[in-house]
Amino acid sequence: MQWLRRVYPFNADQTVNIMSEFGPLVTMFVVNAAFGINAGTWALIASTVIAIGAMMYVFGRPPFFPLIASTVTIVFGALTLITGDPMWVQIKVTIFNAMFAGFLFLGLYLKRNFFKYVFDKTFHYTDEGWNRFTWSFAWFFIFTAVMNEVVRQSFKDTQIYDVFGYQMNGVNIWILFKIAFIMPLSGIYAWFLTQLMQKHRIPEPEPAAQPVQMEPRAQSPSPAGELAAIPVDHRTAAQRNVRSGAPGGRSV
């Protein structure tokens, strides 16, 4: 499965986050094309609620960033239903991305790195690595906010446009732009930053080596298989001298 890991480097948690962000957009695109903006907005809200439920099931708690994004989506979707103007759903991306980029820049200025706070228990990088990662993503959010406004202002919902032989209004072109351009670009950019961050990764500490226990050496037995007995001479010194004929002793 190494080839799959190289092609798709995201884990289960990251996959849920990606699907929670873009799944409702795909649903809105299909329903809006078939039944109009009101039905598409209802589909967006319903699929967002389902995405929140899926995140609760997978994580056991609502993750911070996707939960905020989903909540903002529901609020602006409700505004579209109330006013009948799809502008609220479209401009939500601009407002949210710009505000989140400002939030990331403010955190860097105050030395309170948001991504480090959220992901430090999962990914272990140096402070320089976290700062570079956050700085890059903040600018990416600025880029997507600007591009969102360019597409929103360029294609009006009241007009029909010919796109590769298909007739689309401005909302469908905007959704197609999000799905066909922003979605793959976000995945490629996240993958690129993940690879770039490897040089800032803090290696996991190696487990301490266990001391080698030496087995006690067995005593070598005597040739007979038992310890040899040491003879003890209980004679007195005088007796030994007499027996050996040493001076000072009498012969018996």
pLDDT at 62: 61
Give the closest residue to 138 by CA, choosing from 111, 99, 93, 195: 99
Q: Which two tokens stand for residue 91?
A: 């401009």
Residue 113's Cα: distance from chain center in Å? Answer: 16
Per-residue pLDDT averaged across 131-157, rounded? 91
E strands in the chain: 160-163, 166-169
Side-chain half-sphere CA neighbours of 196 within 13 A: 15
* DSSP helix/strand/coil, 227: coil
Annotated domain spans of the chain = 2-200
Q: Which two tokens stand for residue 190?
A: 């996240």
* DSSP helix/strand/coil, 154: helix
Higher pLDDT: 207 or 131? It is 131
What string of H, E and C letters represents the secondary structure of 228-249?
Answer: CCCCCCCCCHHHHHHHHCCCCC
Look at residue 165 and tell me whether its pLDDT is greater than 50. Answer: yes
* DSSP helix/strand/coil, 32: helix
**CB atoms closer than 10 angstroms to residue 23:** 16
Least confident interval from 110-119, 197-206, 222-231: 222-231
pLDDT tens digits along 206-219: 555 565 565 555 55
pLDDT at 125: 75
* DSSP helix/strand/coil, 15: helix
- The percentage of residues in the chain with a pLDDT greater than 90, rounded to a whole number, is 12
d(CA 243, CA 144): 117
Residue 160 pairs in a beta bridge with: 169
